[in-house]
Structure 1
Amino acid sequence: MAPAASRLRAEAGLVALPQRALAQYLRLLQLYPVLTKAATSGILSALGNFLAQTIKKRKKENGSQRLDVGGPLRYAIYGFFFTGPLSHFFYLFMERWVPPEAPWAAVKRLLLDRLLFAPAFLLLFFVVMSFLEGGDAAAGAAKVRLPHRAGPQAASLHQRPFPISLFPPCNNLRFLEVTVTGDLCPHLLSSGRAGGG
């Protein structure tokens, strides 16, 4: 009887693991919001790039393409130092500038995000990525003027699947949603395109 009870406790612990992990994540968001968001963004950005490369490699007929280990590292650096902190402060700014109770708040926030933040963020993305790849800032900025040549990175920053948050304002899960839909999903969606990953 003791082994069965022990097994039941172990299974119950495994079931509760996601709940405990989420509770710990939310606690870290309360204690260290910028650092937690930076780490989340860095990890998910690197994971998205790695998965996109893996999917692209599997789709190749000969499978001889090697994974670029520098890609996930570059995306982790960008996610940790730029995406996480900038998103944190931008959404704080947006909550103060366009309060949730304001008329048309969701539309105003969407327009502010898409017309102000997204273009500036796209420019920053290409400049930083160009620098991290050993190029110069001008080459990265030139990609913004030529989005049809920019590849899937332009799509990943311009076409987030969920532009309006599913979570209410001030909810810490909103950042996780934006990070997953903005960093991880586009890499996976663009992995099948030419030049993706």
Structure 2
Amino acid sequence: MNRIRRAESNSDIADEDDRRQDPRSDGLTILPPSEWLNRYNQLLDRYPLRTKMCTSFVVSAFGSALGSYLSNAAKDDREKSRGEHRGGMCKAKTKINWVDVIAFAIHGGLINAPIAHCWYEWLSVNGPSSNTASVLVDQLVVQPPLLALMFVCLDVLRASIRAALHEFREADVISKSVTNALQVVPNSWRFWPFAVYFTFKYLKKKHYTVALNLCSVAWTVYLSRGARGGGSNDDS
């Protein structure tokens, strides 16, 4: 009996130690870095292009934000030292250039990652067998055009983002959007509840999106006619 009790007590202690070591037993999921790496590798195997695009999006945004912050911080330090030499006060203006962050993120995720994925896949299959030759082909033939494309894309994205922000501020987008939405919502209740009801009732779930997209054609025509009517009234 004593042996049985000792065995049971030892098993209870072992179970308690396992619960302490396993963070999921307390409702928390704290994974070690190796497990995160394993999961990331699984995503690369299952969804290579999407995973690389998301990774490039995040990494490009982080790199741009960090570079912008460090550059502005150094500039603030120089201005502060000049102000101290002149006997004046200089306020810190360290900030992140979010236009650059968005531009780098879009380029990295939507442009650079797909091109790099397809290029390296092709190079690994059809390129030289020597790693040195593959590096030379990559750096001398492909990377210069990609760098030129990067600067063109970044300039276009920066200009587009700044123009969009300027138009957004000048056109008072939010208040106009809220006003238009409040005017259209009652009319949408005359159409969409019936469309959604008959879709749910008579169609299979896999056809929901297609059916509602077809219904949205009529709704878009209605909105377009309303917008033209509003525009003509404004012009008159």
Q: Which residue does the alignment assign to 2:22?
A: 9
TM-score by length of 1: 0.58
Shift of 1:69: 1.3
Shift of 1:4: 6.7
Aligned residue type for 1:124: L
Name the CA distance, whole Å, in 2 between partners of 1:115 and 1:128.
Answer: 21
Give the alignment partner of residue 56 of structure 1, picking from 48, 62, 71: 71
Aligned residue type for 2:22: R
Shift of 1:58: 2.7
Name the CA distance, whole Å, in 1 between partners of 2:45 and 2:113.
Answer: 15
Q: Which residue does the alignment assign to 1:123?
A: 148
Aligned residue type for 1:95: S
Does the residue aligned with 2:97 lie in a helix, a strand or coil? Answer: coil
Amino-acid identity (%)? 25
Larger gyration radius, structure 1 or structure 2: 2
Measured at CA, do residues 26 and 5 of structure 1 come closer, stay the same or move farther in structure 2, by a change above 3 Å? Answer: closer
Question: What runs of 5+ residues in structure 2 fail to find an aligned partner?
Answer: 1-12, 81-91, 161-236
Question: What runs of 5+ residues in structure 1 fail to find an aligned partner?
Answer: 136-197
Name the CA distance, whole Å, in 2 between partners of 1:109 and 1:5.
Answer: 49
Aligned counterparts, 1:55-74, within 5 A: 55-59=70-74, 60-61=76-77, 62=80, 63-74=92-103
Does the residue aligned with 1:133 lie in a helix, a strand or coil? Answer: helix
Aligned counterparts, 1:41-120, within 5 A: 41-59=56-74, 60-61=76-77, 62=80, 63-99=92-128, 102=129, 105-120=130-145
Does the residue aligned with 1:134 lie in a helix, a strand or coil? Answer: helix
Does the residue aligned with 2:93 lie in a helix, a strand or coil? Answer: coil
Shift of 1:65: 3.9
Shift of 1:126: 0.9
Name the CA distance, whole Å, in 1 between partners of 2:94 and 2:32.
Answer: 37
| Greater relative contact order (CA < 8 Å, ≥ 6 in sequence) | 1
Shift of 1:5: 5.7
Name the CA distance, whole Å, in 1 between partners of 2:20 and 2:108.
Answer: 40
